[in-house]
A and B are shown apart, each in its own frame.
Chain A
């Protein structure tokens, strides 16, 4: 294939694909500024008149901020607990010798394969009848942590094994025990991997819908954002400019976060892809 032609074909393909990816997002954000008539006759272009009322209503509505706050609360505790529990367990796998280690490691890793959807009925029963946490954020946080632990342990163990072993030996000579070593050396040295695992857990938790749907009742004041989107769609079924504005407000933090943290997101997704 001659070079310039190949070049043109390549970029035509990539630009077409970029349009395919960006157009829906563009149309959604612009749609929030359009009247229904404008949406109908002019779906792609800039709005004929920039109408701010849909966006204003949504930003001024306390419900919007309540959804955001609930999502933050759920994600914060999910991330915190995943980081603590998974790194603690991973430390025993990387630095301590004990009987049954491989078995427990494989056991916790099973979570990567277990489909959350297959567990929802009993989780609902457990939360509802035994723990009595139905309709609270803990009913979402705890299962999310449980399902997030497996993959995170894999990341932490890989990272901890790369830490120089001499450090561990030296600490022991100084009489520092395992727990002290974990808190005073492992954690401070692990900021990059904590950030990576934290960011991935955050995205998963922030976007999660299945568990909130099942564990929360119909009262929207405890609902996180994905549930809010479904509520909103039900409420304004065909008022598309309003729905699009609501989706856009929801997209904004995700996109900003994506731009800021993409390095960690990429690291978190590809951590295992290069090794072989």
Chain B
């Protein structure tokens, strides 16, 4: 290690061509890349094409795929009856997850980060506490909240007794049960976003904040005009994960509702599971829904990367 650090480590040179002959280089590239490319193609890319193919067929999960249906699976998803009873709740819940994620969870995370980003013993205790739920599985999180909200044994039971005059079972309430998912979501993930912001805030040079204060900036002004703009990258990054995450919510739903969520608790992901692999075994329908989920994720993801992240997009090579 000592040898390395002596000579200007920052300076980088591109490998000189011809130092090692081309054939050896290609052998190395192929050997090193192949496992990643094969497994990625087989289990990520191919399945998406597979879903696209299956979405035009009626398929029960066994035997050859022969019953071509054209776009009827897609049409079926958007017929009035399906829309009302299945697909619409799934879309609505996805929108709810997104809304709460963006307008409750992220602001809460940002407030916490601003309050406790400085290094001190008490702040690291707070950080540890807020971040703790992140390591629990969504299933365990869901079960913990089912217990908390239980009308007879849960921590909320005395509250129900006091305000509603008797036991109340939120998870069986058709109108409000999804609130439990939103609550558990914020509980589990606000600390994760907070950690991302804290990392950003700790990278903000102290002198900048201090000089703003010397110039007479109030706390608020320092936050709004110095700190938040300087952590814009961290904010954009956490937004990206929050958006894509809310399109894919699955485990938490099952944790709270059990193996077959009711209509009012469906998301796009549980919809795919239920129609394809769980009770109904209609692979074509599930595949059409998969393609819709895929399209939404990809369109939103790419748009976000190129429009919002721009030069900071992960797809751009950083010029060194």
Residues of A within 8 A of B (CB): 1, 10, 13-14, 17-18, 20-25, 27-28, 31, 36, 39-40, 43-44, 81, 84-86, 88-89, 91-92, 95-98, 102, 104, 106-126, 142-143, 145-147, 149-150, 153-154, 161, 164-169, 172, 177-179, 182, 203, 206-210, 213-214, 225-226, 229-230, 233-234, 238, 240, 243-244, 247, 250-251, 254-255, 257-258, 262, 265-266, 269-270, 272-276
Contact residues in A for B5 (Cβ distance below 8 Å): 164
Q: Which residue of chain A has its CB nearest to the CB of B286?
A: A121
State whether A120 touches B276 (Cβ < 8 A).
yes
CA distance A25 to B131 in the complex (A): 13
Known contacts A121-B276, A178-B28, A230-B254, A17 near B112 by CB under 8 Å? yes
We find that the number of chain B residues with CB closer than 8 angstroms to chain A is 116
B15 CB–A CB distance under 8 Å: yes
Residues of B within 8 A of A (CB): 4-5, 7, 9, 11-15, 17, 19-20, 24-26, 28-29, 31-33, 35-37, 39-40, 42-51, 54, 61, 112, 115-116, 126, 128-140, 143-148, 150, 152-155, 157-158, 187, 191-192, 195-200, 202-203, 219, 231-234, 237-238, 244, 247-248, 250-251, 254-255, 258-259, 268-269, 272-273, 276-277, 283, 286-287, 290-291, 293-294, 297-298, 301-302, 312, 314-315, 317, 320
State whether A229 touches B187 (Cβ < 8 A).
no
State whether A115 touches B258 (Cβ < 8 A).
no
Looking at the assembled complex, report how far the CB atom of B55 sits from the nearest CB atom of chain A, in whole angstroms: 9
Known contacts A92-B32, A92-B33, A146 near B196 by CB under 8 Å? no
With A230-B255, A270-B195, A272-B314 given, name 8 new contacts (CB 8 A). A22-B129, A36-B153, A91-B32, A122-B48, A177-B28, A209-B250, A210-B250, A240-B153
State whether A89 touches B37 (Cβ < 8 A).
yes
Which label, helix, strand, loop or mixed, suits the secondary structure of the B interface?
Answer: helix
Looking at the assembled complex, report how far the CB atom of B4 sits from the nearest CB atom of chain A, in whole angstroms: 5
Contact residues in A for B302 (Cβ distance below 8 Å): 113
